[in-house]
Amino acid sequence: MTFTVAVAGASGYAGGEILRLLLSHPLYLSGELSIGALTAGSSAGTPVAELMPHLPQLADRQLEDTTPEVLAGHDVVFLALPHGHSAEIGRVLSEDTVVIDCAADFRLQDAGEWDHYYGGEHAGTWPYGIPEMPGHREQLSGARRIAVPGCFPTGATLAALPAVAAGLVTPDVAFVSVTGVSGAGKKASVALLGSETMGNLKAYNTAGKHRHTPEITQNLAEVTDAEVTVSFTPVLAPLPRGILTTATAPLVEGVTQEAAYETYRAFYADEPFVHLLPAGQQPQTQNVVGTNMCHVQVEVDERSGRLLVTSVIDNLTKGTGGAAVQCMNLALGLDETAGLPQAAVAP
């Protein structure tokens, strides 16, 4: 059987990352997966070679308009569109089509939270694309509608999930995530100019304002009956890719370093894309660039009585495009790891 795949928003960073991964997918290399329509908004009509010269296999292709008619008829449609644009397209595509949305439109379960952080009508909730969360791999297997998580919630959730699920901490978790500039998307913005970002660090959307805050809270609440509170602070750093997240929470009395490390080792023992580092080794963004990996370290701070967990991901791979392909593999019944790099380029 041959699968046909379309990418809406192909000219953006997320769309380009999905295409990069698909071009190395074993089914593409064997001819069993073909890349169909590549669509865009303002870039429609532009040759792929002009906007994405790093994808030479698609150099002879041209971007089309993003319409349901162009996207119809494919087995899989990736929606790498701005928030608020996916719902309309997702509703009209065939129920037999696997639609994988990289925006926030279908991530949140609570309509009130959607209105507070995004505004407007809540489109609904689709199966949520972090397979490493308990029960989610089963929901994603064979699914025809999938919501890819946000990049910050991916790193934050994978950092804190084992501790919250095992009751190692009181689920009052403070996250600080240092991110590269590609997380803001491929758009003209003074704040993202090299002269504004190089040699500079800046916190933004602080004190509960960031839209990913309710998503992180929702994820952790799935694994505990206790009330979950989340403080999330994103920091913009002069990096093209990568997110380093620290998560801290009050320890339950009696939790030792050995117990915390063993909890994380057991939780992620069978997860191909989560790597618990040896004790004493800290995650670094350079070790996950271009991969679908999340590297994690967990430590007990005895003097403060808090647990510290550090994680790193590539925001465009495990944080977006890689997660989308991982979900596609599950939806189509393929090997979950197909086409997804685990080894980074070094140095």
Q: Active-site positions?
A: 151
What does the block give as tokens for 72? 């119809």
The dihedrals phi and psi of 77, each to the nearest 5 degrees, come to: -125, 120
Is residue 340 helix, strand or coil? coil
Structural contact between residues 322 and 257, judged by C-beta atoms closer than 8 angstroms: no
Among all chains, which residue has been given the structure tokens 């071009």? Answer: 23
Sheet with 3-8, edge to edge strand ranges: 64-65, 33-40, 3-8, 76-79, 98-101, 145-147
The whole-angstrom separation of Cα 247 and Cα 65 is 42
CA distances (Å), 115 to each of 51, 69, 205, 227, in order?
Answer: 35, 30, 17, 22
What does the block give as tokens for 178? 């240092």
Q: Give 119-163 as a DSSP string.
A: -S-------BS-TTSTTHHHHHTT-SEEEPPPHHHHHHHHHHHHH
Is the dihedral angle over the CA atoms 22, 291, 12, 55 positive or is it negative? negative
Q: From the CA atom positions of the chain, what is the Rg in Å?
A: 20
Q: Give 79-108 as a DSSP string.
A: E---TTSHHHHHHHS-TTSEEEE-SSTTT-
Q: Give 187-233 as a DSSP string.
A: ---GGGSHHHHTT--EE-STTTTSTTHHHHHHHHHTT-SSPPEEEEE
Structural contact between residues 280 and 287, judged by C-beta atoms closer than 8 angstroms: no
